């Protein structure tokens, strides 16, 4: 059986790290990235005990970094999966749209929308047949919440981008996924000063992502919790 290869962005903490750990224990070979060099090195040293891991620090919004990731995909022998997990919240606390600094909103869109597409463009020639692409979204990308217009609209744009890709790339499995509330640094930034210890750990959402990667259903929008509940029936 051919070894499966995956590229996961934003893999030094939170959901990206939880998914990388799960795939490493299943024998997937990994390319991981994150902006924090030391944190990424620690993850590499942990996961290398279980599988081959290529860790490349950098910002996925930068073209040269995406080229480095694409070269690593080639060296690994191709990709079976790409998980666009890296993203930013924007200002904390979140401002209303009427007061949102446009230059900062442009950065949010650059990282949350344009970077995932740019990475797809960079690695597309290294995809193995029928690749699986997961673009991590949010309920804020589908519902209108006051104070979430910047982040939410960027995720809505990512979701529509994903839907268009489905029509253009029928041989790809493309999923845009709401992982649900999680106890992560980004979630804490979204609710500054609040106690978020009641939120589920990122690991709780991982089985839903694994189901999409291992037994891909039709392309589309999914909620991790609903996938997990369906598998338990």
Considering the candidates 61, 153, 154, 155, report the single residue annotated as catalytic.
155
| CA atoms of 209 and 170, how far apart (whole Å) | 20
> Which of 138, 154, 162, 205 is labelled catalytic?
138
Per-residue pLDDT band for 191 (boundaries 50, 70, 90) equals: low
Q: Which two tokens stand for residue 49?
A: 């005990």
Could you give all domains of the chain from N- to C-terminal order, each with its CATH number? Answer: 5-232 (3.40.50.720)
At residue 190, the pLDDT reads 62
In the annotation, is 151 catalytic? yes
Exposure on the CB side of residue 43, measured as CA atoms within 13 A? 31
Residue 9 has pLDDT above 80, yes or no: yes
- Per-residue pLDDT band at 194 (split at 50, 70, 90): low
Supply the pLDDT for residue 186.
64
Angle, helices 14-25/206-214, rounded to nearest 10 degrees: 50
> What's the pLDDT band for 180 if we cut at 50, 70, 90?
confident
Of the ranges 181-190, 196-205, 209-218, which one carries the lowest mean pLDDT score?
A: 181-190
At 134, give phi and psi (nearest 5°).
Answer: -115, 120
Say yes or no to pLDDT of 121 above 60.
yes
Query: Which of residues 1 and 90 earns the better pLDDT score?
Result: 90
Q: How does pLDDT run across 64-117, given as a tens digit for each residue?
A: 999 999 999 999 999 999 999 999 999 988 899 999 999 999 999 999 999 999
Report how far residue 73's alpha carbon sits from residue 31's, in angstroms, rounded to the nearest whole number: 7
Q: Which of 137, 153, 154, 205 is catalytic?
A: 137
Residue 203 pLDDT more than 60?
Answer: yes
Q: Please provide the average confidence, as pLDDT, over all residues in the chain.
A: 93
Rounded to 5°, the CA angle 76-77-80 comes to 95
What's the pLDDT score for residue 188? 58
Active site residue 137: yes
Torsion angle of C-alpha atoms 219, 216, 33, 21, degrees rounded to 10: 150
Token reading at 184: 């992560």
205-215 pLDDT, tens digit each: 999 999 999 99
Percent of the chain with pLDDT over 90: 83
In eight-state DSSP terms, residue 60 is T
User: In this model, does residue 26 exceed pLDDT 60?
Assistant: yes
Q: Which of 12, 61, 151, 205 is catalytic?
A: 151
Amino acid 24: pLDDT: 98
d(CA 85, CA 70): 16
């Amino acid at each position: 059986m051919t070894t499966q290869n995956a590229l996961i962005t934003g893999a030094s903490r939170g959901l990206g790290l939880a998914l990388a750990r799960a795939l490493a224990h299943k024998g997937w070979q990994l390319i991981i990235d994150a902006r924090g060099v030391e944190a990424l090195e620690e993850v590499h040293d942990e996961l290398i005990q279980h599988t081959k891991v290529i860790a490349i620090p950098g910002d996925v919004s930068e073209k040269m970094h995406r080229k480095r990731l694409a070269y690593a995909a080639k060296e690994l022998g191709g990709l079976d999966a790409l998980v666009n997990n890296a993203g930013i919240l924007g200002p904390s606390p979140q401002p209303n749209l009427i007061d949102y600094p446009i230059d900062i909103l442009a950065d949010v869109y650059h990282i949350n929308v344009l970077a995932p597409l740019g990475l797809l463009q960079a690695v597309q020639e290294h995809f193995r047949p029928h690749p699986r692409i997961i673009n991590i979204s949010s309920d804020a990308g589908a519902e209108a919440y006051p104070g979430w217009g910047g982040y939410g609209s960027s995720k809505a744009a990512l979701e529509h981008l994903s839907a268009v890709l489905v029509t253009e790339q029928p041989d790809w499995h493309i999923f845009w996924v709401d992982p649900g509330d999680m106890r992560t640094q980004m979630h804490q930034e979204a609710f500054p000063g609040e106690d978020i210890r009641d939120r589920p750990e990122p690991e709780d959402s991982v089985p839903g992502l694994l189901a999409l990667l291992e037994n891909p259903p039709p392309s589309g929008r999914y909620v991790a919790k609903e996938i997990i509940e369906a598998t338990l029936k």
